[in-house]
Each structure stands twice: as C-alpha cells, then as structure tokens.
Amino acid sequence: MTKPAMQAPDTSQDPAADRGEVRVEQLTRRFAQRRMEVLAVDDVSMVAGRSEFVTILGPSGCGKSTLFHVIAGLLPPTAGEIWIHGERVTGQTGHVAYMPQRDNLLPWRSVLDNTILGLEVEGIRREEARERARELCVRFGLGDFVTALPRELSGGMRQRAAFIRTMLFPREVMLLDEPLGALDAQTRLLMQEWLLDVWEQMSKTVLFITHDVDEAVFLSDRVYVMSARPGRFVREVAIDLPRPRRAEMRLGAEFVALRNDLLAHIRTETLKSFQETRA
C-alpha cells in the first residue's frame, strides 16, 4: 500500500499541544541581605507537562517560594529563563494562577468577593463572577459562608477560599505554595484527597510546594527534591502509584518505599540546613 500524499496532522506541531507546559531553565536567584549575599536558588531546571502534578519538596528556607515568585514573574531571576506553553515569559506576570504561601484573603471582603478577585482582574462583571464563584463555594463546602468575612472561617475554610480564588483565575497552570500548610494533621489528609478530586476534574497543570514527604508522594506524578540553601534540585522521583489515589494506599509497600527514599534525602538536606543555621 502506498503512503497517502497527505500525512495525518502532526499534533506535536499544534501550538495548543503543549499548553499547560512549564519549563524552568538554569534558574538562579541571589538576594542582597544586609552585607551578605544569599544564593536562594542555584541553577535549577525543571519541567512540568500538561496536566501533570509536580511537587517541589524541600526544607524550610531552601528557596521554594523564591522559585515560584520567579515562575510567576513577580521577581526577576538573576540568571535563567522561564517558558510557559512554549513561550519565553521570564519576568512577565499573568501567565499562571498563583496561590501564595499565606492565603492573603482581603479581610474586608466577604468570602465570595475574595474568591472572585482573579475574575475581576480579568475584567469579568462582578455579578457574573459571583455567579461562577458561588457554585464552586457550594461544591467546596463554603456555601453557608459566602457572606462571611475571612476571620470568621477556620484555617481549612480559608485555604479552600484561597484555592477557589486561584482556581477561578483562568489559567492552565496553577502554582500552589504550601496550600495545606496551616492545617492540623487530620484536616490536611482530608484536604489532600479533596485537592486531588478537584485536580482530576479540572485537568490543570499543578506545581505544588510542600515540605511534607507523605503529602508529596500522595499527590504527585513527579517530585523534585530541593537541597538546603543554596536551593538546588538533588533528586527527581516519578511517583508511579495508580490514580485515583486512595487513602489506603498510604499503607502500601510501594508508597512506603517511595516515602522512605524521599525521607532519607530530605533528612540529609534538613540536617545540612540545621547545621548551617547553627554555625
């Protein structure tokens, strides 16, 4: 049989084919602190594919948030480049939805009006934005609290509100900086399952920061382990556990092996940063 003259379209040429992709190339960021220079991120390269859940795992102070600030375009890098959807966006804002480490809810705005900030920034009419947000608030268990102020909410609810706000920002890439950090252990486990349910429905690319090894294994497709300062990637681990992830998987041999492997690395790195702090 002869080959047809017209080939089937090559999807790798389709500009939409790599939407959601994030690429960080040889990123370095230094800070001048008093008379000292701090090397916060040192020659970090990473990639996240479309709809992938990628976690940066590292000890406190290793440069994780700095990495996100640069990816989000809020901070220029000292060296290196950021590519999103195949476009060079180094130093540019507006390409990702970003949930900062603190929930940053505006204390004078109701829960509902906090969640629509991203839509408002995009120029969507407030009533229409509220309509969309209200539905998500109901779905995420905040239905009775849409008119409440942030200070009336529990930690878990505040984080859900901040997460809804991030999700409503219409971008294919979401950066989540320790979004479950302020929660007690039990709520945190439930929120991890909740987060995966949401992610599986919305098919967004997620970059996620945590210092919690179990959380990294439970949530991720891939984990980059970051060293103590200066932050470098010392290991990249694929988490080949099936999806959807179930709470009982935490007890399985495969989960435990991945966890122990990561834990050994993070322990070495945490010890290094601890010794450095005491020196």
- Give the residues lining the site for Mg ion (CB under 5 A): 65, 101
Q: Is 15 exposed, middle or buried (0-12, 13-18, 19+ CB in 10 A)?
A: exposed
Residues 103-132 that bind ligand ADP (CB under 6 A): none
Q: Where does the chain show beta strands of DSSP type E?
A: 22-33, 36-48, 53-57, 79-84, 87-88, 97-99, 173-177, 205-210, 222-226, 233-238
In angstroms, what is the minimal distance from the CB of 207 to Mg ion? 13
Token digits of residue 270? 């945490």
**Residues 41, 26: Cα–Cα separation, whole Å:** 10
Taking the complex as a whole, the smallest distance from the CB of residue 33 to ligand ADP amounts, in Å, to 5
Beta carbon nearer to ligand ADP, 190 or 271: 271
Binder among 63, 100, 150, 179 for ligand ADP (CB under 6 A): 63
Within 193-252, the residues that bind ligand ADP by CB under 6 A are 229
Omega before 107 within 30 of 0, i.e. cis: no
Name which of 57 and 164 has its Cβ closer to ligand ADP: 57
CB of 194 to ligand ADP, least distance (A): 24
Neighbouring C-alpha atoms within 13 Å toward the C-beta of 254: 9
CA distance 90 to 41: 15
C-alpha span between 53 and 13 (Å, rounded): 24
User: How big is the site for ligand ADP, counted in residues (CB under 6 A)?
Assistant: 13
In angstroms, give the least distance from the CB of 29 to ligand ADP: 8
- Are 97 and 171 spatial neighbours (Cβ–Cβ below 8 Å)? yes
**H or E segment and range at residue 213:** helix 213-219
> Which lies closer to ligand ADP via its Cβ, residue 150 or residue 230?
230
* Cβ closest to Mg ion, residue 62 vs residue 219: 62
CB 115 within 8 A of CB 164: yes
Check residue 60 for interaction with ligand ADP (CB under 6 A): yes
Among 46, 53, 57, 66, binds ligand ADP (CB under 6 A): 66
The entry of Mg ion, ligand ADP, none near residue 38 (CB within 5 to 8 angstroms by kind) is ligand ADP
Q: Residue 80 or residue 181: which is nearer to Mg ion going by CB?
A: 181
**Contact partner, 60, from Mg ion, ligand ADP, none, Cβ < 5-8 Å per class:** ligand ADP
The one of ligand ADP, Mg ion, none whose footprint includes residue 62, by CB under 5 to 8 A per kind, is: ligand ADP
Q: Which two tokens stand for residue 114?
A: 């906090």
Rounded to a whole number of angstroms, the minimum distance from the CB of residue 13 to ligand ADP is 37
Q: Which residues lie closer than 8 Å to 205 by C-beta, 6 or more apart?
A: 20, 21, 22, 48, 49, 50, 51, 52, 54, 172, 173, 174
Is the CB of 26 or the CB of 60 nearer to ligand ADP? 60
Q: Is 31 in the site for ligand ADP (CB under 6 A)?
A: yes
Residue appearing with tokens 């230094």: 30
Binding site for ligand ADP (CB under 6 A): 31, 33, 38, 40, 58, 60-66, 229
